[in-house]
């Protein structure tokens, strides 16, 4: 008489983990978001059932602890991927907008938009790998300059944004000037002749202003900066009000 196989107490966890591991290697935000939701739900279920499950044996407790740790680590990794740009590690577009909208419900904010000057020419002349290095170097410059004073994100391509929790236009202008100067200092050792500059725009909005209005206003300023010689800052002097 054959002995029946012991039931796999962790079949469900393993299936979710396998899905999460596949999603971890997939750059698609939709895939990552779906897997993240599965992981969070499974993690909550594991916590609820822990006392009941670990009563089976010491081995079961050890396996549960391992599965629980893997769930937690993958949840954190996928959550990070879901919020950050894959190349620069700055906040992605959706996450930066979310931070701005959250702040705007409570207080005034400043928005800085910047666009790398002649980025297409950099890619065409030096190649896309060098273009990627410029993007990552600019992201590092943003983090060094802004630090914990605001949220930095990549909005797409060579366009980036900074959200500052301030109602002072002069504070935002000062940050933009520091950032512009820091970008001019970017050097790539393998491309001696390469110089990087950016066009920037700055605007301030009071609490209650929709973010898309603030963004459009600041983006119009960025357009003027780029078509007025580049490597300059356009300031929107009038504060946006609801």
Spatial separation of the C-alpha atoms in residues 16 and 12, rounded to whole Å = 6
Helix (H) or strand (E) holding 114: strand 109-116
Q: Which two tokens stand for residue 169?
A: 């236009």
Closest listed residue to residue 135, CA positions, set 151, 110, 147, 152? 152
Closest listed residue to residue 88, CA positions, set 25, 159, 31? 159
Q: List phi, psi (to 5°) of 161.
A: -140, 155
Closest listed residue to residue 116, CA positions, set 196, 25, 177? 196
Let me know if 159 is a catalytic residue: no
> Residues 211, 100: contact at Cβ < 8 Å?
yes
227: number of Cβ within 10 Å? 10
194: number of Cβ within 10 Å? 15
Q: Which two tokens stand for residue 34?
A: 């779906």
3-state secondary structure of 154: strand
Considering the candidates 13, 42, 158, 234, report the single residue annotated as catalytic. 158
**Separation of CA 187 from chain center:** 24
- The residues annotated as belonging to the active site are 158
């Amino acid at each position: 008489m054959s002995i029946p196989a012991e039931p796999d107490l962790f079949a469900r966890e393993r299936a979710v983990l396998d899905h999460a591991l596949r999603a971890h290697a997939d750059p698609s935000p939709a895939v990552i978001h779906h897997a993240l939701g599965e992981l969070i739900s499974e993690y909550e279920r594991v916590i609820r059932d822990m006392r009941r499950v670990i009563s089976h044996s010491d081995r079961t407790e050890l396996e549960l602890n391992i599965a629980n740790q893997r769930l937690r680590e993958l949840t954190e990794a996928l959550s990070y991927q879901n919020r950050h740009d894959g190349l620069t590690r700055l906040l992605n577009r959706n996450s930066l907008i979310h931070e701005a909208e959250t702040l705007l419900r409570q207080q005034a904010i400043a928005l800085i938009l910047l666009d790398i000057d002649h980025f297409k020419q950099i890619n065409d002349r030096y190649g896309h790998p060098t273009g990627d290095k410029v993007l990552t170097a600019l992201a590092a410059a943003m983090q060094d300059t802004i630090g914990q004073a605001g949220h930095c994100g990549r909005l797409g391509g060579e366009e980036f944004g900074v959200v500052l929790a301030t109602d002072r236009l002069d504070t935002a202008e000062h940050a933009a000037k520091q950032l512009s100067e820091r970008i001019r200092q970017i050097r790539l050792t393998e491309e001696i002749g390469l110089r990087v500059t950016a066009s920037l725009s700055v605007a301030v909005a009071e609490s209650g202003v929709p973010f898309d209005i603030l963004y459009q206003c600041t983006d119009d300023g960025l357009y003027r900066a780029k078509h007025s010689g580049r490597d300059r800052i356009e300031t929107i002097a009038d504060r946006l009000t609801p």
